[in-house]
Structure 1
Amino acid sequence: MNIIRLYQNFWIRNSIIIVVCLLVIFGCVYDTDPEIDETNGQFLWTFVKISRGFFPLYIAMIFSNMVLVRKLLFQKKYTLFIAFFLLYWTLYYIGIQYYYDFVHMRSETLLAVQLGKVSLLLTVIAISNGTALYFLHLWILRNISESRKAQMNIETELSFLKQQLNPHFLLNAMNNLYGESLSEPESVPDRILNLSDLLRYQIEATKKNLVPLQDEMDFVKRYLAYCSFSNERLEVHQEYIGETDGIEIPPLFFLPLVENAVKFSRETLQPQIRFEFEVSGKNLSFSIENNFLEVGSRLNGTGIGLGNLERRLEVYGLKHELVYGKENGLFTIKLQLWELHTVA
């Protein structure tokens, strides 16, 4: 896992690549150039000249991959990509000639022959290899991400199955239904249907990688409606802003946050929960706030819910900002998500 994290770090990965490439080039030149003499300083000077020839191509390759390939080719702007790709590397080929002249790399040594004369064929080969390595890199990252998602989905499904069969939750539900059947028997069928919908959605959602955002919001509404029924003192203030059409999100994404809010506010005399969904394009802002006992609470916050959420944000590769904290008897969580998945 540590190796994978090192590989995913842009700066560490590229630093390793640079060092390896320079050492390989130096080894090839060192074995073939008889003019290199460690005793008169040419050893270091050779390495400097190799670096002068290597870095312009490497930097140009980074720009080509990160801008032209990613911003044009991957966005299916094929005509623009071909035009800018050819123009970019043509200008590079012309400009590099002047660059080598500027740094005085044209001499009679074998090293100068290798680095001072820019062959069109060698340039095309370098460009092809650099672009191919970038696609290989993306393929490796994608496989790493898919493997981690598969593992996370299994762990998440097992976790949710345990929650679905939580005896404490079901026992409270049955007790509440029993009590209401004695006092308001006409409302019991609706309560049973509400509970059934909650359990059914949990079971079905865990089988999917992504679910519609609107379904998740509806599930939160039903869950809080059920909690309000089981605790009449609970006050829920909710607000929904924006259009959710076509937006998808990992299943049961907000449930741990809502569950914690209900659990900790329940200890207060006047439990209150306030939350808001605000959708703007493919971006989502979610905030939830609940009161809690600052002193005398029988509950211990383990941080598992927030830890699981942070882990899922990482595994799904969602661009996000998660902020939370306590102040004046209120616990607040703010989650911003950008560039969410949409239905193709």
Structure 2
Amino acid sequence: MVILSKAKTKEVRILKLAEKLGIKKPLLPSLSYIPVCKLAPNPLQPRKHFSKEDIESLAHSIKQSGILQPLCVRLREDVPTVSINGQVVKAEAIYEIIAGERRWRAAQLAGLDKLPCIIMNANAGDSAKIALAENMFRCDLSFFEQAAAMQNIMIVCGLNQTELAETLGMRQSTVANKLRLLRFSEEERRIIKDCGYAERLCRHFLRIENGTARLKLLRSAEAHCWSSEACEKRIEAYLKNDTDIQKKGAHQRTVSALSDIRFFMNSVEKAIGLAAAAGFEVERTDNDLGDFYELHLVIPKARRKCQ
């Protein structure tokens, strides 16, 4: 059963999005019903994790009410082929899903044979942009998935941060903050996800530039079930302690440098004193030039004559 009570609204929204992204009009002006077996998921799909419970729930809804929104697909350029008896035969999946992978998964579970689709005249880069824009602000798409999707689009489409921000209608600073999240290691991301920490707290953790120290703090947060407020306090404490250590180190280096200079000057004083005691009259000129001292000594080759 296929019901399209909301299909027109969805179709118009996707077409407007495609136009905004500079993508040509669909290959076909109306909906096409494509066999489920001819559809393949998008490798650049922002959402990497699909809840089994959500798919089962959607499949139940599809059984009851049918497909309410069409999928957005494109013709694949890299369809695998095989030669049989001199004839080139293409694999079944000749369409790539741009938007609607959840519906495709649930439809298979519900036993549907064909799905309503809008066939877009889009390449891999266009597909990535539409998929991200379609999923960007859905609550079930994690901020790590958003960041990874943005990076994929930049690589595939050859865009910089400013161009990506313009394409998605976002501020460049927002894009930059999202991409910074990719600095976290896989273990750090797992801890953040398992602890349910928000994106805002993640940005606080990134203030700790030392990856080893940051991971250690996150492991402690997981082990002791720290709240976001507790994490912020420990981050501030770490940063303050780190700053104090740096200041102390700089002070010690300064004191050490001063001590070395005084030791040198004392040695010079003693040497001049010994020379004078031995009958050599040493002429000395000192100049403090800020970053360094200039010391000028004139030492005679012969002792002064006794009078």
Structure possessing the higher radius of gyration over alpha carbons: 2
| TM-score normalised by structure 1 residue count | 0.18
Where relative contact order (Cα < 8 A, 6+ residues apart) is larger, the structure is 2
